[in-house]
Amino acid sequence: MTERQGGYCVAMTNFGYTLMTEQSGPRELVRYAVAAEDLGFDFEVMSDHYSPWLTEQGHAPYAWTVLGAVAQATSRVGLMTYVTCPTLRYHPAVVAQKAATLQVLAEGRFTLGLGSGENLNEHVVGEGWPAIQDRQDMLAEAVEIIRALHTGDLVDHRREYFQVDSARIWDLPDEGVDIGIAVAGERAIEVFAPLGDHLIGVEPKPELVSDWNAAAPA
């Protein structure tokens, strides 16, 4: 982010805090979120997992319930899922409704962070684990559905991976819901830069940013 001061562009850095659902229970996460806001953090992201990475971590609360509580307990920080997979464990129509409701509660502070998922969390519904190209194609179709539902229109959708029958979201935020997409690699950038509002980099590589900006619509 840049801010113009006295004729010069000054780079501004935003600092975020990660709410780790694998390491803490829901009540602790809300307390940490409030403390992070009080300490001056600019935004907070929350992992959305069904299982912890290691059994020793011992936690995996439902991220969306916790984020709703965080939205009410805080007033300034930006909030984001980091990241939600809207293809297997969640149907994209359900993610669209959850994101809209959370944005209403957060009064415009929420960004929907999406990704193609990990087997650790998505296998629990028994639908198998598709190859990466299939998962990326599923995610692209899911983003299309979420965007359509966030218009408030009645949506019917029948394509390769998903079906939506006469769905409408009734409580929509005035601000809309920005979508960030996690990417790593050239194909992911090519597919998702035109679809997302924000890049979520999974590696500290500056070329991810430059390639995303080059592929994103003007």
* Residue of 28, 118, 144, 190 marked active site: 118
Is position 3 annotated as part of the catalytic site?
A: no
Query: 193 near 212, Cβ under 8 Å?
Result: yes
Stretch (H or E) spanning 165: strand 163-167
Stretch (H or E) spanning 92: helix 92-106
* Residue of 37, 49, 122, 141 marked active site: 49
For residue 99, give the nearest of 72, 79, 123, 74 by alpha carbon: 79
Is position 150 annotated as part of the catalytic site?
A: no
Q: How far is the CA of 44 from the CAs of 75, 161, 165, in angstroms? A: 12, 32, 34
Query: 136 near 116, Cβ under 8 Å?
Result: yes
Would you name the residues annotated as active-site residues?
49, 118
